[in-house]
Amino acid sequence: MRSLVILISGRGSNMQALLEANLPVDKITVISNNPEASGLGIARQHGIDTIVIDHRSYPDRETFDAALAERIDACQPKLIALAGFMRILSENFVLRYEGRLMNVHPSLLPAFTGLNTHARALQEGIKIHGCTVHFVTPKLDHGPIVIQAAIPILPDDTKKTLAARVLQQEHHIYPQAIRWFMQHQLSLSNNCVVIRGTSINDVVLHSPGLQE
């Protein structure tokens, strides 16, 4: 069975994009570490089963991760998707699901790992920003990259406007990455993701644009 587990901590906008993407899956379960996550209500509105595992009920990260893994395993997922899951997972947990744990990150990795990516991008004065879907490995935000989307940083961009435009692209590329995975189009070669049956976009993005 092609089962998908989605982990969330908050509003779950990427989760909602996945739920509305008509993915080739047989069952979806949403799990949150936050009982107050607004994404839980959205999932229930879509008829999706939800589970809450409050991390504050556990004495440490390893104990929480063990409880989380137990509930995930009961769902027998083909893939686990992190969608705004604001917990750093232990190495044992990540290795348990190696090759089956995916995340979307709001930068063009390997640039700007971690938090506050949009503020850091603006501070550094870069011209092109974006988002990345990647497999999760023990080293934070350094797993094999599946797909990326790039956008120009506009002269009047703020953290808020830049985040909103990047999020739009996250909603496009995350469902695509999961669709490829579920359709067995992904494979790993020397830590690089190979995608079968797709074409490479050879359009060059210049920011600012070149003059004639």
Catalytically active residues, by annotation: 105
CA dist., res. 48 & res. 28, Å (int):
6
Q: Which strands form 3-8's sheet, in the order they lie side by side?
A: 49-52, 27-32, 3-8, 79-82, 101-105, 128-135, 145-152
DSSP 8-state class, residue 152: E
Asked whether 19 and 41 are in contact (CB, 8 A), the reply is: no
Task: Identify the CA nearest to 136 among candidates 66, 197, 198, 87.
Answer: 87
